[in-house]
A and B are shown apart, each in its own frame.
Chain A
Amino acid sequence: MNELNNIISIIGKETTRAIIGLIGVMVLVVINALILTWAERKVAGHMQRRIAAKEVGPFGLIQPIADSIKLLGKELITPVNVERPLFYLAPTLIFVPVLVSFVVIPFGSYLQVKDINVGILVILAFSSLSVLSILIAGWGSNNKYSLIGAIRSVAQNIAYEIPLLLSLLAVVFMVNSLSLKDIVEAQRGLWFVILQPFAFIVFFIASVAETNRTPFDLPEAESELVAGYHTEYSGMRFALFFLAEYTNIFIVSAIATTFFLGGYQGPILPGIVWFFIKTYFLVFVILWMRWTFPRVRFDQLLNFSWKVLIPASLVNLIITGGMLKL
């Protein structure tokens, strides 16, 4: 304890908090990815009346660790004609938004690395970097499937970022703050999912599209594009893309929890437990959707966003603003 106090006095309280927070975030990212790879197999298995992973450990719980050891041990193949700097840059870059987003998410009333007064903007601004890295991966791979996947991903992300922002804006209107902590505190008693059910639905659909999950997984459609933008990646670089995808699922669920489901608030149990219960419930719904809905066609995908979601969320925003002024 004494040493810790010494360190705090040297580098300052804020910096210590940030460092400890970032270590916590790193641990959470890895554990979350391990849980989700296991959960995805199990959910998929039981939905198809199979047992799924069961050999390694009880209920196959050690399976993700075995998988990650396999991925760590695999050779990192760099194809001959790839654009080398870009090929190496993409898997690294995709991890930046993931780590930044965790800084502002309030896990409990005190468990937040830093409460920034433009919190939600930090997440939304940096999430655009993941599109950029998908683009770089697709272009740098020098592979037509990768490039098609990347182009689809960009079109999809541009289309779905607008309803995502508009649906969150409705909540920001009601709270008068961009800080995630203020938004959670404003939901003491009544969750915003009751006041803004429509915004919640729009946000959820748009966030599934932003994370490139089925039914919106056109950027990596296995049956037509091999694996989309990460076709040429192997070993740990491929694992980084997957780690980022699973962490993105967690992040969008955490934002939905924070904005619409009351965040860390709930009776009896401590705040962080409630936060994780709500978040993992939404994660489960996203996993569930993968095995329930077929993949949409590309024109359906874009039409749905531009012709349905954006006008509808604009109407929702106008009504919200009108109600607040009445």
Chain B
Amino acid sequence: MQFADIIFLIIIFVTMIGALVTVLSGSIIYAMIGLVTTMFGIAGIYVYLNAPFLAMMQILIYVGAISILIAFAIMLAGPLYKNPKEWTTITKFIASLVVSVFSFLVFFKVIMHASWMNTKAKEFTVTTKEIGRALFDKLTFPFELISLLIIVSIIGAIMLALLSKGEE
């Protein structure tokens, strides 16, 4: 086993542990920390794939902004100490089992049938400049579409906040 393989296994291990903690933990704050660990693991995979810009963005956005906001919302929501585990009742357990098995099969099918580029042959380096070029050149339309989606969701969030305040 090579050094790189060991690193890869460690990254996968950290990601999986984080994901398991997120799903299985009874306390919501531990679930959030598990989520952060998973995000770090995914950033590690990006670094492993020689995409440091993507990795840093992953940490900056998912750990720095989204997880912190989640934590903020949790703390403002009130005391949430010993919550009962959500998946303990039998119906919920069966439902989650069905969902996870189904999504596993879907992903398995997709991963097995996708044609993967053989990146081993050529040097794979993507600079920040090339990412910027691609975003505003080839991929302008999907990029703008995503920003539209974000605007719609922001407006939705504002509307929800206004409605819960009791304003028309």
Contact = CB atoms under 8 A, between A and B. Distances in A.
Interface string B2-31: 000000000000000000000000000100
Nearest to A158: B68
A86 to B, nearest CB: 7
B63 A129 contact: yes
Contacts of A178: 53, 128
B127 A117 contact: yes
Nearest to B40: A129
Given A125-B59, A128-B59, A128-B64, A117 B75 contact: no
A155 interface: yes
B75 A158 contact: no
Given A136-B33, A139-B29, A155-B72, A125 B64 contact: yes
B35 to A, nearest CB: 11
Contact of A151 (B59, B67, B72, B129): B72
A131 B68 contact: yes
Interface in A134-157: 135-136, 139, 147, 150-151, 154-155, 157
Interface of A: 83, 86, 89, 116-118, 121-122, 124-129, 131-132, 135-136, 139, 147, 150-151, 154-155, 157-158, 161, 176, 178
A136 to B, nearest CB: 7
A150 B75 CA distance: 9
B143 to A, nearest CB: 18
Interface of B: 29, 33, 36, 52-53, 56-57, 59-60, 63-65, 67-69, 71-72, 75-76, 127-129
Given A136-B33, A147-B75, A125 B68 contact: no
Contacts of B65: 128, 158
B76 A151 contact: yes
Residue of A127, A154, A155, A157 contacting most chain B CB atoms (<10 Å)? A154
A135 B57 contact: no
Given A117-B52, A118-B53, A151-B72, A128 B60 contact: yes
